[in-house]
């Protein structure tokens, strides 16, 4: 192994490989920050370009785009309440609240530090424990997937605002919208209302653009404020690794969540960021600050989603099973380069594989340097007058929704969800549970129905498998522990 | 009374929506009669949660006292609502006219209109923002990302 690592290190420092990583991260950050585009599109665009490149250079370029894209999506989530990718949706509430308080620079710094922390930890796990983690991931069947998504859904109680019943209604609406289109198990159409475009279902990107960006444009138009940041005498605050010390437990916990979720095929950074956020809130001494500008919340969501990027390469490379749409393209790139994904990949193409894994660590460092350099520039966006910024954001939302599938109907979808995101919160209905229901709904439904088909309708299938029981217990802890803690505090205060 | 009505109305509407959902599911989703966990299973489940959550919320609202909170009414709330409606009209125009006028012309007009709605009164700045954004976005999406943007029927 050591000779392969040394050989990979030498390979990484070839100028073309270094340039590929540098360019890939910059492109990923830029495209990740544009609503409607995201790293999947950037990977798809660059894939044909990499055909003539050496395997290591091509893979490093694409992984740079992937990592940069996951990070870049959080920049607009903080600055203009528009997550560039679904993985940044958990960062929106706290990040944007901080930006409005004039602390955009602090929030952006936390994003880059937490992202790099999660990514490096994930890269080390990828380097030293890929085969072991791959064998663990293989134990995941439909019952385990269902319990994992159920665990993800328990976050609804954390983001419910003042009313749990309203949060349940919104989450149900999210699940309901996710059922529109063709049923993946039977092939029947659901809620298509005789139209063709609804048969294909509702895409996630216009939903996010509508719920957050367009709804925020309506809110800003209604309020008439000068700029996003309340603090017009904006100055960037100094932020170093020392600033992470109070958040070390959150970072470790969320990174571990991201690492585990990333290793499970078909899950991805979105789920890990929500689970990481939920667990940070549950463990926090000040959970009431979450959603109102908590740096802990930003650290949790960002370290979790970036920790996913490294370990998601494990099932991709060792099992040939992609973790999400981004890694599906990376898998295609591996095959295109003549590398056969699977357990034999380490033996047959060890040099390239180790170059990819070590390159991943260097990509995290490059991402840190580029992000750190750009934070000061990004933060100034919150000072742009709203009559200049929001028309531009609106333009990006419209063209971004259109660009998802080159169809005007997706702009209607974005407008529809924009109205939901604008109107329902006025009556106390929180928006985030709807998005969580929409993201986790299809995974959860598919796993539930597959499990029940396997067990011929018996629910006992969820309680006879160790991993499934483990996640079920986590669900119980996640739901009941805050209630018990609250009762305990009330008793202590009463005494 | 007014506070309670304001609290109850959305929950009643959500409950009604849940019941309507129950009624339309059979016409919208085909399912073999033998299937228990078929394509209708999750939609029925969500409709059930919506109805139950609405009912529980309505009961809680009726059995607890309404807090006498003073509702803050912004002076410019009517003006704000008008601006939201204008933005919606602006988006609708962009959607309807995109295939006819093409991306460049309709985006120029829509961006300028949005600047005006957001309160910009400087003709020079509105023109600059509209032109720079429209041509910048066109170059980025059409040339860099190779996304086909409508050129319109008129040109």
CB contact under 8 A, B91 and A398: yes
> Among A188, A221, A402, whose Cβ lies nearest the Cβ of B80?
A221
Closest by Cα among B49, B28, B10, B99 to A411: B99
Residues 6+ apart with CB under 8 A from A486: none
Helices (H) and strands (E) in chain B, counts: 5, 0
Query: A-contacting residues of B 38-97, CB under 8 Å?
Result: 38-39, 41-43, 45-47, 49-50, 53-54, 56-57, 60, 74, 76-77, 80-81, 83-84, 86-88, 90-92, 94-95
CA contacts within 13 A on the Cβ side of A365: 6
CB contact under 8 A, A179 and B42: yes
Q: Which of B36, B45, B71, B87 to mutate to test the interface with A (most CBs of A within 10 A)?
A: B87
Q: Can you spell out the DSSP letters for A159-182? A: T-TT-HHHHHHHHHHHHHHHHSEE
Q: What is the 3-state secondary structure (H, E, C) of A316-356?
A: HHHHCCCCCHHHHHHHHHHHHCCCCCCCCHHHHCHHHHHHH
Helix (H, G, I), strand (E, B), or coil: what is residue B19? helix
Which residue is listed with tokens 């919506």?
B50
Q: Can you spell out the DSSP letters for A372-421? A: HHHHHHHHGGGGS-HHHHHHHHHHHHHHHHHHTTT-THHHHHHHHHHHHH
Query: A-contacting residues of B 90-119, CB under 8 Å?
Result: 90-92, 94-95, 98-99, 103, 107, 110-111, 114-115, 117-119
CB contact under 8 A, B111 and A390: no
Q: Is A384 left (phi over 0), alpha (psi -120 to 50) or beta?
A: beta
> Among B38, B42, B87, whose Cβ lies nearest the Cβ of A221?
B87
Which helix (H) or strand (E) segment holds residue A190: the answer is strand A189-190
Shortest CA gap A229–chain B (Å) = 16
What phi and psi values does residue B43 have, to the nearest 5 degrees? -60, -40
The complex's ipTM? 0.91
Closest by Cα among A76, A111, A40 to A396: A76
CB contact under 8 A, A175 and B42: yes
> Among B37, B114, B119, whose Cβ lies nearest the Cβ of A394?
B114
pLDDT values of chain A reduced to their tens digit, one per residue, 495 residues? 677 778 888 888 888 898 999 999 998 888 887 766 678 778 877 887 787 888 899 999 999 998 888 888 888 888 888 787 778 888 888 888 888 888 888 898 899 999 999 999 998 888 888 777 777 777 788 898 888 888 877 777 666 667 788 888 998 999 999 999 988 778 889 998 888 888 988 988 888 889 888 998 898 888 766 666 555 444 556 788 888 889 999 999 999 999 888 887 766 788 888 888 888 888 888 888 888 889 999 999 999 988 988 888 887 887 777 767 778 788 888 888 888 777 677 777 778 888 888 888 899 999 999 988 887 777 777 778 888 888 998 998 899 889 888 889 999 999 999 999 999 998 888 888 898 888 888 888 888 888 988 888 888 899 999 889 988 888 888 777 767 777 777 777 776
Shortest CA gap A472–chain B (Å) = 20
Residues 6+ apart with CB under 8 A from A257: A272, A275, A276, A279, A304, A307
CA A43 to chain centre: 17
CB contact under 8 A, A222 and B21: no
> Among B57, B92, B125, whose Cβ lies nearest the Cβ of A166?
B57
* Cα three-residue angle A119-A125-A131, rounded to 5 degrees: 135
> Among A214, A396, A403, whose Cβ lies nearest the Cβ of B147?
A403
Are A30 and A75 spatial neighbours (Cβ–Cβ below 8 Å)? no
A165 touches chain B (CB under 8 A): yes
Q: b vs e for A322-358, b when ≥16 Cβ sit within 10 Å of the residue's Cβ? A: bbbebbbbbbebbeebebebeeebbeebbebbbbbbb
The CA distance from A230 to A233, in Å, is 9
The CA distance from A461 to A455, in Å, is 6
The CA distance from A106 to A99, in Å, is 9
Q: How many CB atoms lie within 10 A of CB A375?
A: 21
Shortest CA gap A318–chain B (Å) = 32
A187 touches chain B (CB under 8 A): no
């Amino acid at each position: 192994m050591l000779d392969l690592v040394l050989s990979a290190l030498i390979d990484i420092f070839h100028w073309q490989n270094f340039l590929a990583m540098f360019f890939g991260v910059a492109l990923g950050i830029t495209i990740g920050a544009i609503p409607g585009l995201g790293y999947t599109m950037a990977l798809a665009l660059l894939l044909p370009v990499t055909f003539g490149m050496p395997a290591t250079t091509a893979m490093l370029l694409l992984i740079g785009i992937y990592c940069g894209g996951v990070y870049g999506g959080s920049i607009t989530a903080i600055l203009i309440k528009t997550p560039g990718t679904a993985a940044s949706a958990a960062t929106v509430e706290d990040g944007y609240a901080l930006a409005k308080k004039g602390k955009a620079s602090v929030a952006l710094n936390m994003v880059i530090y937490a992202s790099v922390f999660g990514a490096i930890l994930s890269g080390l796990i990828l380097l030293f424990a890929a085969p072991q983690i791959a064998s663990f991931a293989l134990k995941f069947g439909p019952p385990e997937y269902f319990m994992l998504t159920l665990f993800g859904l328990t976050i609804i109680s954390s983001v419910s605002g003042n009313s749990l019943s309203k949060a349940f209604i919104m989450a149900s609406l999210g699940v309901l919208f996710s059922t529109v289109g063709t049923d993946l198990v039977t092939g029947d159409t659901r809620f298509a209302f005789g139209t063709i475009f609804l048969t294909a279902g509702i895409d996630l990107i216009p939903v996010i653009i509508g719920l957050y960006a367009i709804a925020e444009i309506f809110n800003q138009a209604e309020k008439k404020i000068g700029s996003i940041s309340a603090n017009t005498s904006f100055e960037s605050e100094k932020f170093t690794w020392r600033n992470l010390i109070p958040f070390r437990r959150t970072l470790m916990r969320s990174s571990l969540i991201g690492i585990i979720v990333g290793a499970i095929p078909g899950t991805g950074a979105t789920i890990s960021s929500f689970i990481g956020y939920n667990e940070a809130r549950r463990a926090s001494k000040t959970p009431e600050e979450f959603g109102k500008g908590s740096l802990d919340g930003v650290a949790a969501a960002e370290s979790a989603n970036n920790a996913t990027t490294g370990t998601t390469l494990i099932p991709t490379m060792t099992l040939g099973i992609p973790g999400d749409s981004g890694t599906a393209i990376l898998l295609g790139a591996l095959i295109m380069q003549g590398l056969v994904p699977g357990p034999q990949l380490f033996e047959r193409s060890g040099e390239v594989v180790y170059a990819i894994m070590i390159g991943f660590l260097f990509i995290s460092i490059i991402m840190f340097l580029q992000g750190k350099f750009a934070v000061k520039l990004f933060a100034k966006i919150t000072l742009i007058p709203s009559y200049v910024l929001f028309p531009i954001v609106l333009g990006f939302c419209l063209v971004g929704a259109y660009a998802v599938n080159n169809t005007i109907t997706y702009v209607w979808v974005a407008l529809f969800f924009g109205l939901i995101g604008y109107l329902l919160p006025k009556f106390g209905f929180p928006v985030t549970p709807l998005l969580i229901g929409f993201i986790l709904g299809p995974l959860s439904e598919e796993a539930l129905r597959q499990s029940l088909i396997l067990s011929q309708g018996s629910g006992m299938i969820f309680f006879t498998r160790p991993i499934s029981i483990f996640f079920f217990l986590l669900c119980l802890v996640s739901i009941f522990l805050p209630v018990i803690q609250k009762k305990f505090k009330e008793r202590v205060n009463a005494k | 009374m007014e506070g309670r009505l304001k609290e109850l109305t959305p929950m009643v509407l959500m409950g009604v929506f849940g019941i309507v959902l129950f009624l339309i599911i059979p016409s919208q989703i085909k399912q073999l009669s033998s299937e228990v966990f078929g394509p209708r299973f999750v939609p029925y489940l969500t409709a059930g949660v919506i109805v139950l959550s609405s009912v529980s919320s309505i009961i809680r609202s009726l059995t607890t006292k309404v807090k006498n909170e003073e509702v803050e009414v912004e002076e410019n709330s009517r003006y704000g609502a008008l601006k939201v409606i204008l933005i919606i009209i602006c988006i609708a125009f962009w959607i309807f006219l995109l295939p006819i006028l093409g991306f460049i012309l309709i985006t120029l007009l829509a961006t300028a209109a949005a600047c005006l709605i957001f309160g910009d009164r400087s003709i020079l700045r509105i023109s600059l923002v509209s032109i720079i954004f429209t041509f910048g976005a066109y170059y980025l999406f059409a040339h860099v990302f190779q996304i086909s943007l409508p050129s319109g029927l008129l040109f």
